[in-house]
Amino acid sequence: MTGFGVHLTMHPPEEQFALVRRVEELGFDSVWTGDHVAFNTPLYESLTLLAAYAPITRRLKLGVAVYLLALRSAAVAAKVTATLDVLSGGRLIFGVGVGGENPKEFELCGVLHAERGARVTEGIDAVRALWRDTPATFQGRFNRFKDVSIDPKPVQTLPPVWVGGRSDAALVRAGRQGDGWVSYVVQPERYARSLETIREAAHAAGRSLADFTAAHLAFIAVGRDYERAKQAWVSVLSRRYAQNFEPLARKYGIIGTPAQCVEQLAAFRDAGCGYFLLSAIGEPREEREQLEAIAAEILPRLRAR
């Protein structure tokens, strides 16, 4: 069965908390946040925000897509995520990615931009060792520790790690190390090809993908017609990412009437996607209205198909 999560934008605290409560009431499976230390627009720290959601939700999985692990110590990341998993009763999904579109962010954190991929690959293994082992020992290029234990351990013995990205390196990382994969800004044809690359990498590593989750972060704008929805999509994302999204709308957006959005999402499901992270694109004051429309008019049609 297809899963549906919501990737929320930033609001003042009380509005944020009211919105996440409504997401749970609407029947979505999970709530997600992005992650940056410094970005073009204001953004809450991801794991702190998810911890604030833990006591006001009961059922929703709490996900980050994607946590820039290279910017943090793997030991600190393991400690914070283990705590979050305990506080939420075992509801964490730990999406991990490389990032890199903002080199100043790496300079700020004292991390070489060129090392980010290697740090993430090693960091995943180091975090899992600390989640799992008492005591834990690890010898790597960036992480070295012996006979140490992080307690309490996560409620989930190993919280699922979903690897984000669309580069060949990210796809191989997903196949070799991931419990799932999160794509973004791809078309369905590329999505299907990427899944083949992931399967090949998993096979080469001797891994089974039986419980693997193939997900897609979809920037969605629902409207009365395609053109009005497209205008909102382009305006918001161009400001958010400080680049012109006009040329990307028809290629990568989920845009238009509910029926049009269903067709566009169904193409990803046909390509192998089993879980959608839906990021409703519009002005912040319109996000709840968008989510209400998605829950009422899009999810039932997709589930029926």
Domain ranges of the chain: 59-159
Torsion of CA 258, 217, 14, 22, to 10 degrees: 50
Question: Tens of pLDDT along 149-180?
Answer: 999 999 999 999 999 999 999 999 999 999 99
Average pLDDT rounded to a whole number, residues 278-282: 95
Give the pLDDT of residue 238: 94
Average pLDDT, the chain: 96
CB count within 10 Å of CB 104 equals 10
Residue 109 has pLDDT above 90, yes or no: yes
pTM reported for the whole predicted model:
0.96
**17 and 60 Cβ atoms separated by less than 8 Å:** no
Give the pLDDT of residue 242: 86
The more confidently predicted of residues 265 and 284 is 265
Average pLDDT rounded to a whole number, residues 87-116: 95
